[in-house]
Amino acid sequence: MAKPVVLIVDDEAGVRESVRMVLKDAYEPVVVASGEAALEWLETAACDLVFLDILMPGIDGLETLEHIRAKNPHVAVVMLTATKTVKTAVGAMKLGAFDYLTKPFDIDELRLVAERATENARLRLEVEQLRDAVGRRYRFENIIGESEPMQRVFKTITAVAPMKSTVLVIGESGTGKELIARALHYQSPRATRPLVTLNCAAIPDNLLESELFGHERGSFTDAVDKKIGQFELADTGTIFLDEIGEMSAGLQAKLLRVLEEGEMQRVGAPRPMKVDVRVVAATNRNLVEAIAEGRFRKDLYFRLNVVSVELPPLRARRDDIPHLIRHFLDRKSRELGIHAKELAPATVDRLLEHAWPGNVRELENVIERLLVLSGECRVIGPDHLPDDLAANYAMVAGSAGTSMEVLTGRKSLSDAVDEFERDIIAQALSQTYFNQTRAAELLGTTRRILKYRMDKLGIDFPDSAR
């Protein structure tokens, strides 16, 4: 492996030679006598580390440092200084220097600083490359969706991503709300700053305040150490608050203060602190109904709902299902390390007929299951589908036979309608694990009307669901 290149910049020949001799075994040294010569060399070549004298005729070390940092931000720079200019060297670190060494320097210290500086520069470059890769992954162009509803979503993201505006993402579970939040962050000017995600429903209410805003040591019984909250960690970046509708009234008031004043207060802290955080919130609840029921603050809703992104359920964007199938087949095959497979047309037909109460997340899980359980089959047939998908398809296919029975007089229209309604309600209840509220949403009705139809049709819960 090639040695790291170190550029040694000093107007004293003795210093240049001393540094070169110490580092020549582990590095490829290049020596120049002035800031001008260093900048000229860097125009056509690259290095991993720079040792830079502060006091030089012509362009001094500080000015040279500024030019290097502007054009080569990942290069580590170590300042070389006499004792009388130590204060200047410390100032140079504020301009982006990694460290400084005082002349005459200790050989072991020189080697150690060079090693640390090179490793630090390598890690910074890796982090930057990782951020670039993550940013490319979460570009909205990479979110699968060619249907008209998704195109409207992309149009909104394109318009709002460069702004600091608060965004409320609305959609059922599994529709990809966090994916949208990440796209908003990585397509914004804050892309290189932190993105912090927090599920408000996953943390007990008595711990959520400390998780959001942090706490001081001794502020409550278990506070043995100071804790930095998620808002503080997200400073200058973005925070994604999922399931915002589950937040208690007390915390809603504190979140409102962050949005209105740009400041937060750790639990037990004597005074608030300023934070610069973009908030993206998400919910699968109807917040307007929650406001009417007194469970969500109206003023917070309007602060969060500056721009809203409403993600359609998968059943409302069936045109995207074939594209999503292909995407998940390719991605999951790579992740699982198995050969590429495809779905038989009959299998795709059954997936297109499914109601997808779990939305895109459910489809992703089904595709992974098919890949895992289909063994060596290159083409996955419908016999590999989970039982609930097979039952749903059988019900749809059976409707054609029912139509013929009505048209030939073997069954009354009223009985056929009741039979169909009974089947579709039972299917919705089964897919939502007998949660009547979710089943009603799936069917596009209210829980009250669903319960009325269940009683009229004699639909009861099985013993296992009680």
Which pLDDT score is estimated for 464? 45
For residues 43 and 192, state if they share a domain.
no
Q: Strands 214-215, 227-228: parallel, antiparallel or unpaired by DSSP? A: antiparallel
What angle, rounded to 10 degrees, do the helices at 321-336 and 345-353 form? 120
CA angle 61/65/69 to nearest 5° reads 175
**Which of 265, 294, 312 delimits the end of a domain?**
312
CATH number of 10's domain: 3.40.50.2300
Nearest to 57, CA basis, from 80, 34, 23, 77: 34
* 86 occurs within a structural domain: yes
pLDDT at 463: 47
User: Is residue 319 assigned to a domain?
Assistant: yes
| Secondary structure in 3-state letters for 323-376 | HHHHHHHHHHHHHHCCCCCEECHHHHHHHHHCCCCCHHHHHHHHHHHHHHHCCC
Matching residue, tokens 């809703």: 301
Contact assessment for residue 351 and residue 360, using Cβ atoms and an 8 Å cutoff: no
Q: Give me the CATH number covering residue 176.
A: 3.40.50.300
Residues 161 and 269 in one domain: yes
Give the separation between CA 238 and CA 178, rounded to whole angstroms.
12
Instruction: Examine residue 409 and state whether it is found in any structural domain, yes or no.
Output: yes
Query: Helices in 45-106 by DSSP H: which ranges?
Result: 61-71, 86-94
| Pair 272, 400 in one domain | no
- Whether residues 294 and 319 fall in one domain: no
Over the stretch 284-308, which tens digit does the pLDDT of each residue have?
A: 989 999 999 999 999 999 999 999 9
pLDDT at 124: 75
Q: What is the pLDDT of residue 234?
A: 94
Helix ranges (H only) for 138-190 are: 148-160, 177-186
Does 244 lie in the same domain as 170?
A: yes
- Give how far Cα 293 sits from Cα of 296, 298, 429, Å: 8, 11, 26
Provide the CATH number for the domain around residue 438.
1.10.10.60
Strand partners of residue 9:
32, 52
Residue 140 lies in a domain: no
End-of-domain residue from the set 82, 110, 134? 134
Establish if 332 belongs to a structural domain: yes
User: Residues 158, 300: one domain?
Assistant: yes
Q: CA–CA separation, 211 vs 201, rounded Å? A: 12
**Does residue 139 fall inside a structural domain?**
no
Same domain, 255 and 403: no
Q: Who contacts 45 (Cβ-Cβ below 8 Å, separation ≥6)?
A: 5, 30
Q: 266 and 379, same structural domain?
A: no
The verdict on 62 and 106 lying in the same domain is yes
- 297 plus 331 within the same structural domain: no
> Are both 129 and 111 inside the same structural domain?
yes
**Angle 150-153-155 (CA atoms, 0-180°, nearest 5)?**
115
At 377, which CATH number? 1.10.8.60
Domain for residue 404, yes or no?
yes
Residue ranges for the chain with pLDDT beneath 50: 135, 138, 394-398, 463-464, 466
Which residues neighbour 192 within 8 Å (Cβ) at sequence distance 6 or greater?
Answer: 128, 131
Last residue of a domain, one of 312, 346, 370: 312
Question: What is the C-alpha to C-alpha distance for residues 451 and 466, in angstroms, rounded to an integer?
Answer: 15
Which of 105-115 are b and which e, b meaning 16 or more Cβ less than 10 Å from the residue's Cβ? beeeebeebbe
Count of structural domains, the chain:
4
| One domain, residues 95 and 161 | no
Per-residue pLDDT at 136: 52
Domain that residue 430 falls in: 389-465
